[in-house]
Amino acid sequence: MRHQAHHGRLGVQPSHRRAMIRNMVTSLFKHERIKTTKTRAKEVRRYAEKMITLAKKETLASKRDVLGFVREREVVNKLFKTLIYRYSQRKGGYTRILKLGYRAGDGADMVFLELVDRAVEEKSSETSVDKNEKKQAIETTSEVVADKKKKSKEATPVS
């Protein structure tokens, strides 16, 4: 009987599944957003939220438990130094799943699994700065080219 066996099998052996989930949780905490299939995201979300809840206790035992699951020490330090303070007032629901569409090869549902309240990168301000810098660079180069043309016309004797 399958009583209380609610985890997904994900089409792989148990050892492969555990390794894959550990790697994906580590990547989620490291990058704060990962692209994966819907089924894997739902499975990874369970473990990621458990790790954040465990880290919020801020004990040595909880840190050792998280170190036993998450692969990289730097990621665990990030979790204990920054992420738990970001979610200190939140009781749960630390992750969000955003649907992307279907994968071209096999039609699997693709999603972004991301941490809630993550810092959103402002690309619009960066592009406007880049555009201004490009515009200034173009203006200066066009001025330099115009000066060179004037000098070359003045320097060449007319016969």
Does the residue 97 lie in any domain? yes
- 7: alpha, beta or left? (left if phi > 0; alpha if psi -120 to 50): beta
Q: Which structural domain, as residue segments, surrounds residue 127?
A: 121-159
Q: How many domains does the chain have?
A: 2
Name the phi and psi angles at 15, rounded to 5.
Answer: -70, -40
What is the pLDDT at residue 54? 96
Task: List pLDDT tens digits, range 38-85.
Answer: 999 999 999 999 999 999 999 999 999 999 999 899 999 999 999 999
Q: Are residues 111 and 127 in the same domain?
A: no
Could you tell me the pTM of the whole model? 0.73
What is the pLDDT at residue 138? 65
Q: Are residues 62 and 76 in the same domain?
A: yes
Q: Are residues 30 and 104 in the same domain?
A: yes
Q: 118: helix, coil or strand?
A: coil
Name the phi and psi angles at 80, rounded to 5.
Answer: -80, -25
Task: List pLDDT tens digits, range 124-147.
Answer: 555 555 666 666 666 666 676 677
Q: Are residues 87 and 155 in the same domain?
A: no
Does the residue 55 lie in any domain? yes
Q: Does 148 or 96 have the greater pLDDT score?
A: 96
CATH number of domain containing 79: 3.90.1030.10
